[in-house]
């Protein structure tokens, strides 16, 4: 069952949601420190992170899956959010420079179709940040947060999936080493958990944060190849002597 947008909004309004936004957001800013003059699309439920990245972007829009629901964003001013079918985005081809994919890939029934559609709307050389639950992490094993819903991924699974969709993972990062418990002790020490986990490369981070580039290949034209033809004599069939027809003068001779 897909996550509801009301539950997602309630989570990010909670203290644990603030910890997740701050922790994952720091990783995103390290990967994309500058989005000036970029057309930025947030797909899934990316609105908690879009203000961190899109402050100086040329344009920022938020698309939310139909199965999830949509909320007005940003709250002041004109809305930049819309309800869409994730595999049929209402955008022209190569019209977006960067895509932020959060709470979407693990929820969709067809991850490959989703990534292929994102590749379509991305410009050549466009970049994509994907945030997915780590199947070995504690956050994927507890359904008290949005990261505990849907399908978690291993590193090899997400890498193979992205390469099949013509994306080249450039940078890998992990976040949310802190246990997903709503206790003040853990939430106050969240940054310490992140430093220790990242420094020791511990395997139980809550999410993977991948920065990938859209691959662009130019098809090489096919060269015409010369073929040599060997002409061989054709053997014509010959009639058997017994079946040879009489010549015209033989036919006129009387029988003796």
| pTM, full prediction | 0.82
Number of domains in the chain: 1
Helix or strand (DSSP H, E) at 62: strand 59-65
Place of tokens 């246990």: 179
CB 176 within 8 A of CB 137: yes
How far CA 145 is from CA of 9, 101, 178, in Å, comes to 11, 17, 13
Closest to 62 (Cα-Cα) out of 1, 8, 17 = 8
Nearest 10 degrees: CA dihedral of 137, 111, 216, 37? -70
Q: What is the pLDDT of residue 104?
A: 96
- Identify whether 243 is part of a domain: no
Q: What is the pLDDT of residue 224?
A: 44
Provide the CA 90 distance to its chain's centre, in angstroms. Answer: 17
Q: What is the pLDDT of residue 225?
A: 42
CB 127 within 8 A of CB 57: no
Residue 139, SS3 per DSSP:
helix
Residue 256, SS3 per DSSP:
coil
Q: What is the pLDDT of residue 237?
A: 54
Residue 254 dihedral angles phi and psi, to the nearest 5°: -70, 150
Q: What is the pLDDT of residue 242?
A: 54
- Identify whether 250 is part of a domain: no
- Identify whether 16 is part of a domain: yes
What's the domain range around 55?
5-214
Per-residue pLDDT of the chain (256 residues; tens, 9 = 90+): 578 999 999 999 999 999 999 999 999 999 999 999 999 999 999 999 999 998 889 999 999 999 999 999 998 888 999 999 999 999 999 999 999 999 999 999 999 999 999 999 999 999 999 999 999 999 999 999 999 999 999 999 999 999 999 999 999 999 999 999 988 888 889 999 999 999 988 889 999 999 999 987 644 444 444 444 444 554 555 555 555 555 555 545 555 4
Q: What is the pLDDT of residue 101?
A: 98
Q: What is the pLDDT of residue 163?
A: 93
pLDDT in tens, 77-132: 889 999 999 999 999 999 999 999 999 999 999 999 999 999 999 999 999 999 99
- Identify whether 25 is part of a domain: yes
- Identify whether 152 is part of a domain: yes
Closest to 133 (Cα-Cα) out of 30, 35, 3 = 3
CATH number at residue 35: 3.40.50.150
Q: What is the pLDDT of residue 55?
A: 84
Q: What is the pLDDT of residue 229?
A: 43
């Amino acid at each position: 069952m897909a996550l509801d947008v009301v539950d997602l909004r309630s989570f990010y309004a909670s203290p644990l949601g603030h910890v997740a936004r701050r922790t994952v957001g720091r990783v995103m800013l390290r990967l994309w420190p500058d989005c000036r003059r970029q057309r930025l699309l947030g797909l899934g439920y990316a609105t908690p992170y879009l203000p961190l990245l899109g402050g100086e972007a040329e344009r920022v829009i938020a698309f939310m899956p139909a199965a999830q629901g949509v909320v007005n964003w940003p709250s002041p001013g004109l809305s930049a959010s819309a309800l869409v079918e994730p595999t049929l985005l209402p955008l022209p081809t190569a019209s977006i420079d960067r895509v932020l994919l959060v709470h979407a890939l693990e929820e969709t029934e067809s991850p490959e179709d989703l990534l292929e559609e994102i590749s379509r709307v991305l410009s050549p050389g466009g970049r994509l940040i994907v945030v997915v639950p780590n199947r070995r992490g504690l956050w994927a094993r507890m359904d008290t947060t949005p990261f505990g819903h849907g399908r978690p991924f291993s590193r090899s699974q997400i890498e193979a999936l992205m390469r099949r969709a013509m994306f080249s993972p450039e940078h890998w990062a992990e976040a949310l080493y802190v246990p997903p418990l709503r206790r003040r002790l853990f939430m106050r020490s969240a940054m310490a958990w992140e430093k220790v986990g990242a420094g020791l490369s511990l395997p139980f981070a809550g999410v993977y944060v991948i920065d990938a580039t859209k691959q662009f290949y130019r098809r090489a034209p096919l060269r015409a190849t010369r073929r040599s033809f060997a002409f061989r004599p054709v053997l014509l069939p010959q009639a058997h002597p017994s079946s040879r027809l009489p010549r015209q003068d033989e036919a006129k001779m009387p029988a003796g």
